[in-house]
Amino acid sequence: MKRWSRRRWLGGLAAAGFTVGLAGAGLAQEAKVVIVSWGGDYQDALREAYWKPFSTAAKVNVVEDTRPLPPRIKAMVESGKVDWDVVDLTERAVHRGPQAGRLRAH
């Protein structure tokens, strides 16, 4: 299996956020997308590079959360109340998530 570079992951994250934001903007009363990442300088950089420009261009409010840990994801899936639209995960979590019943492909 080919490994993805950080640049490819971030590009995919931005594309996913844009797609989810556009789909949600037409359906929701408040156009918003909830993005969860790892916080700190990393999340600050994502905000400046991706989320602010996307929010301005798509007129979608970007709401941020931090710490996409497996127990939080599992709790959301099991309760049926998923609060996040876009999740920044490690490559390992992406591959293990479906096996653990935490992620589904759409």
Domains of the chain plus CATH, in order, are 6-96 (3.40.190.10)
pLDDT confidence of residue 79: 93
Give residue-wise pLDDT tens across range 93-102. Answer: 666 655 555 5
Distant-in-sequence, close-in-space partners of 58: CB < 8 Å, separation ≥ 6:
18, 21, 22, 25, 31
> What is the pLDDT, as a whole number, of residue 62?
96
Is-above-0.75 flag for pTM?
no
User: Could you tell me which of 39, 29, 32 has the C-alpha nearest to residue 17?
Assistant: 32
pLDDT digits (tens, 9 = 90+) for 29-70: 679 999 999 999 999 999 999 999 999 999 999 999 999 888
Rounded Cα distance, 23 and 2, in Å: 30
